[in-house]
Amino acid sequence: MLKNMMVRTGMMLVLGLLFATILLAIGFAWRGAGQANNGFESLYNMAVKRADPLHAVREGLLENRLRMALGHRDYLRGEIDKARANVKLAEAVLDQVESTFRQFHAEPKIGDGQRLSNEINQQLGAYIPILRRAAQGFMNGSDSEYGSPAMLAERNVLIDKMEVLFTDYYALTHRIYGSMMEEAAQQKTFADVGAVVLLILAGALMMGGWLYIARIVLRPLEQAGQELGLVAAGDLTHRVEVGARNEIGKLFTAIRRMQESLSQVVSQVRQGVDEINTGSTEIAQGNTDLSSRTEEQAASLEETAASMEQLASTVKQNADNARQADQLAGNSMGVAQRGGQVVAEVVTTMHAISGSSHKIAEIVSVIDGIAFQTNILALNAAVEAARAGEQGKGFAVVAGEVRTLAQRSAQAAREIKSLIEDSVSKVEAGSRQVEVAGETMKEIVDSVQRVTDIMGEISAASQEQSSGIEQVNRAVAQMDEVTQQNAALVEEAAAAAGSLESQAQQLRQAVSVFKISSREVIEMPASRKLA
């Protein structure tokens, strides 16, 4: 409960308890002064009462004198028994007087009281024996000790002296205790005035303390609460003033440092949010461009794949034709070898040779066309590889090799075509040159051998083309897979850029509640400056 108490309430409670304590102390002092005054009154009364035994002694002496006088009267009347009864009463009173005075004389006295008590004791010591001798005379039937003028004068002198001593003692008692009562009254009055003055002084001190605490503690705390309320509301433009060097000043210094640090953080966050927005926008634009380029690349790859499929089928057909040409060349080689033996049948077989030559010419034309198409496809593949950029370098190399092989195939086809044309011309002229067939047969065998070699080269080139095209197909497939992955990455990057932009907007909205001064200077981190 105490930890939730307001500071103002706590201060008022402490000052109230202090004031209550002062009031309690003043009350106890006041009560003590009253009790002291009452004590002095009681002491006065007790002192007066202490004088009562002396009154009893005085009264006892008066009663003794009265009884002795009555006994003397009865003695003079002849009433001896009655006189003795009064004398016995007088002796009993005298015994009581002696006992009472001994008790009084034994008690302590104030001032001259002891001296007066000693003098009274001395006078009683002289007066009582006289009274006892007179009483004894009455008991013996004589009044000479009581009624003689000398004894009467001596008793009167002693009685007068004791009366003076009694009066002096009474006066002394009243004077001493009256002075004490007057001093006690003055002290009580001084205590009353002091208590009132202390009460006023305590009230003034409490009010001054309250004003001091309110000015030094409560008012700055309220101001600190207002400053923190402004910070909590997002207003960082108000400057916190530090007006003291005490604990409150340290609190305001800490609030100022907190405000400056928070303002710097908000400025940096806002600047960072702006940079994030710019970066995310650029990323989104880059992803859009990259997505369109990826789509174009995917389309180009699809076209390249289709072209490569056509090229593969063409090369396959070329390889089949090359194998057939190789077989035909082998047959021609066998025919040429048998030519020496069947020269006689040259005329009949020349027609077959002429037909075969036409077929070979057609095949060579096909091979030439295939080489031309292969060259065109290789050129297209090189162009597409150039468009693919860094990822199409390997494909460009393969396309260059394919183009080289196509050129070589075309060159070989042209050579075969020229040879076939020469063979056809020779076959057409064979009928006219049968007589020189034996001489030219060797040349035919050599030509056929060359054809066989060329067809072998064409077959090998076709195999290499097929292998290269398979490699190109695999490369295209890999490029297509990479393109698909790139497309997926582009989509993920676009989503991440959108999420980053959304988070940046949320962060901007979160820090938009803070108001900072436009003169705030923000130190940029080195890494951000370099970026």
pLDDT, one tens digit per residue, over 404-440 is: 887 888 888 788 878 877 877 877 777 677 666 667 7
Residue 527's pLDDT is what?
Answer: 36
Residue 41's pLDDT is what?
Answer: 58
Q: What would the two tokens of residue 267 be?
A: 């400025």
Task: Express as a percent the part of the chain with pLDDT over 70.
Answer: 83
Residue 529's pLDDT is what?
Answer: 38
Q: How far apart are CA 165 and CA 78, in angstroms?
A: 37
Residue 458's pLDDT is what?
Answer: 76
Domain boundaries, the chain: 7-200, 297-511
Calculate the CA dihedral of residues 9, 13, 19, 20 and round it to 10 degrees. Answer: 140
Residue 366: partners with Cβ closer than 8 Å, 6 or more residues away:
321
Return the sign of the alpha-carbon dihedral for residues 515, 520, 526, 529. Answer: positive
- Quickly count: other Cβ atoms within 10 Å of residue 478's Cβ: 13
**Average pLDDT in the 255-270 region?**
80
Question: Smallest Cα–Cα separation from 217: which of 258, 240, 257, 251?
Answer: 251
Q: What would the two tokens of residue 52 be?
A: 């009562």
Q: How far apart are CA 341 and CA 323, in angstroms?
A: 28
pTM score of the predicted model: 0.35
Residue 266's pLDDT is what?
Answer: 78
pLDDT, one tens digit per residue, over 490-514 is: 777 778 777 877 887 777 777 676 6
The CA angle 294-482-402, to the nearest 5 degrees, is: 95
Residue 438's pLDDT is what?
Answer: 66
Adjacent-strand bridge partners of 515 = 235
Q: How far is CA 166 from CA 80, 99, 129, 155, in A?
A: 34, 17, 20, 16
**Average pLDDT in the 11-26 region?**
76
pLDDT of residue 523 exceeding 90, the answer is no
Q: What would the two tokens of residue 262 be?
A: 């928070």
Q: Where are the alpha helices (DSSP H) in 51-148?
A: 52-77, 80-106, 113-139, 144-147
Q: Which residue has the higher pLDDT, 168 or 508?
A: 168
Residue 465's pLDDT is what?
Answer: 76
pLDDT of residue 292 exceeding 70, the answer is yes
Residue 51's pLDDT is what?
Answer: 59
pLDDT, one tens digit per residue, over 325-343 is: 677 767 766 776 776 676 5
End-to-end C-alpha distance for the chain, whole angstroms: 55
Return the sign of the alpha-carbon dihedral for residues 323, 325, 331, 334. Answer: negative
Residue 521's pLDDT is what?
Answer: 41
Q: Where are the alpha helices (DSSP H) in 340-392?
A: 346-388
- pLDDT confidence tier of residue 522, bands split at 50, 70 and 90: very low
**Does domain 297-511 match CATH 1.10.3470?**
no
pLDDT of residue 164 exceeding 90, the answer is yes
pLDDT of residue 525 exceeding 50, the answer is no
Residue 50's pLDDT is what?
Answer: 56
Side chain identity, residue 291: S
Q: Containing H/E element for 441?
A: helix 437-511
Q: Which residue has the higher pLDDT, 466 or 523?
A: 466
Q: How far apart are CA 349 and CA 213, in angstroms?
A: 138
pLDDT of residue 166 exceeding 50, the answer is yes
- pLDDT confidence tier of residue 88, bands split at 50, 70 and 90: very high
- Of 1.10.10.970, 3.40.630.30, 3.40.50.1370, 1.20.120.1730, the CATH number of 7-200 is 1.20.120.1730
Residue 59's pLDDT is what?
Answer: 92
**Average pLDDT in the 39-45 region?**
55
pLDDT, one tens digit per residue, over 209-244 is: 788 777 777 777 787 787 788 878 777 776 777 777
